[in-house]
Amino acid sequence: MTGNPDARLRALPSVDDVLKADAVALAIVRFGRPAAVTAVREALAATRAALRAGNTPPSQPEAIADAALARLAADACSNLRPVFNLSGTVLHTNLGRALIAEAAVEAAVAAMRSAVTLELDLATGRRGERDDHLRRLVCELSGAEDATVVNNNAAAVLLVLNTLAEGREAVVSRGELIEIGGAFRLPDIIARAGVKLKEVGTTNRTHGKDYAQAIGPKTALVLKVHTSNYRIEGFTKQVETRALAAITRERGVPLVSDLGSGTLVDLSRWGLAHEPAVAEAVDAGTDIVTFSGDKLLGGPQAGFIVGRRELIQKIARNPMKRALRIDKMRLAALAATLRLYRDPDRLAERLPTIRLLARKKPAIAAMARRLLPVVATRLGDVFTVEIVACASQIGSGALPLETMPSAGLAIRPRATRGEGRALERLAAALRRLPVPVVGRIEKGAQILDLRCLEDEAAFTANLAGLDL
């Protein structure tokens, strides 16, 4: 074939020519004729573009058919790929937060495969309520009178504010006007709920009298927000829930608390620091509490709203609830997750979030020692590998300043020249593995925190595909 691009362009096979190639016959069997024809057109267009750009791609019909088949095979894989989360953050929002307990996976799959009594009361044959499947469990575990559930905690906050305070004021401490990653900013949510924000106190100090003075005829509620992802330290003051509840009760306005992560058990049981428990907030007199399903609770994405019956009923009747409701799969998974909490002694065995958070450093370090030679051999001479102490985080804004002692591998380029680029190349190669490995780069090293690695054999087998 000539080196002249125009001649090569004219010599490109037609779609029909490529369709006769064996690879296309295979593609049609695997992916169907319309998809195969589209892929052939795309492969031809890509070859044409490469020729125009002065390159010399293979342009025989077989080569183009192979390219088309490769495109189809790549498209057939989900983009939502399983990864090894070695970032050191257990509830990593970008990696899908909580891993779901087996019991919850099974419950969700069963609900997917069959018609279910989502809104059917079998006893009466009448229409039932979605919330009925969770109400009893949530109330049992939180001590609340009533409960409802929506898409996520952001939706829960939005729905509560819109129902109880639309057109009126919500009183919030200046120390609690938070931004959670992913564009959840409290003042914006308050505005979108149709509520006017009334700020009280200062950034570092808010007193009971600040709340008391701010509550007036336009006040619909007082909102307390758990400052999940930061802490104000030093000369600070915030009003304890019980004291604030006394103030709001006296003035006849509801106290709403956004706990963010919230938890249904005392985490100190597993050596973790204290995180506000839902039952404590309810017990302290909070009228409505909201929290996430996929943070410390360890279930699928959801937002719980629990509290006083009369308020919950009002919230559940808001037409917006329909737009924010959850489906049968998540409902099934949530109920199964909550059921595990009835047996706290076995929670760490059954609930991956607690299991991973409770892992002790010596066990993780032992794994690091076993994996060190495997990883070092795979990486060859260009990198050094050593065992390092790590500090894992819970993530998703829970206990932001608390870390859990962990262990991992630190990989560093041997040569100091071009060190940054070598690290980036290594991180990219780890992401290209059949099961991508997500670590973090810190102080000139690629760190793989092993807290969330449970399947060591799968990790080792996966590493065989490393292409630096």
Ligand X SMILES: *Cc1c(COP(=O)(O)O)cnc(C)c1O
Residues that bind ligand X (CB under 6 A): 152-154, 180, 184, 225-226, 228, 258, 260-261, 292, 303, 396-397
Min dist. Cβ of residue 408 to ligand X (A)? 26
Q: How far is the CB of 257 from ligand X (least distance, A)?
A: 9
> What whole-number distance in Å separates Cα of residue 282 and Cα of residue 98?
24
Nearest approach, Cβ of residue 276 and ligand X (Å): 10
DSSP per-residue codes, 73-142: HHHHS-SS---EE-SSBSS-GGGTSSPPPHHHHHHHHHHHHS---TTB-TTTSSB--TTHHHHHHHHHHH
The distance of closest approach from Cβ of residue 349 to ligand X in the complex, given in angstroms and rounded to an integer, is 26
Query: Least distance from C-beta 228 to ligand X, angstroms?
Result: 3
Q: How far is the CB of 260 from ligand X (least distance, A)?
A: 2
Give the three-state DSSP class for 219: strand
CB of 275 to ligand X, least distance (A): 11
Quote the CA–CA distance of 451 and 35 in Å, as a whole number. 42
Pairing status of strand 146-150 against strand 84-85: unpaired
CB of 396 to ligand X, least distance (A): 6
Residue 310, number of CB atoms within 10 A of its CB: 11
Q: How far is CA 325 from CA 148, 221, 300, 304, 312, in A?
A: 9, 24, 13, 11, 14
What's the CA gap between 456 and 204, in Å, rounded? 46
Q: What is the C-alpha to C-alpha distance for residues 197 and 193, in angstroms, rounded to an integer? A: 10
Q: Which is nearer to ligand X, 131 or 258 (CB)?
A: 258
Pick the closer one to ligand X by CB: 61 or 299. 299
Give the length of the chain: 468
- Closest to ligand X by CB, 400 vs 436, is 400
Nearer to ligand X, 291 or 383 (CB): 291
> Minimal distance in Å, beta carbon 311 to ligand X?
19
Q: Which is nearer to ligand X, 300 or 408 (CB)?
A: 300
CA 145/CA 345 separation, integer angstroms: 25
Residue with smaller CB distance to ligand X, 5 or 400: 400
If the CB atoms of residues 184 and 270 are measured against ligand X, the closer one turns out to be 184
Task: Mention every residue, 6+ apart, whose C-beta is less than 8 A from residue 324.
Answer: 150, 151, 155, 158, 159, 303
User: Between 33-52 and 22-31, two packed helices, what is the crossing angle to 10 degrees?
Assistant: 130
Q: Are 180 and 188 in contact (CB under 8 A)?
A: no
> For residues 38 and 227, which CB has a smaller minimum distance to ligand X in the complex?
227
- For ligand X, which is the closer residue by CB, 13 or 293? 293
CB atoms within 10 A of CB 4: 10
* C-beta nearest to ligand X: residue: 260
**Residues ≥6 apart with Cβ < 8 Å to 270:** 348, 354, 357, 358
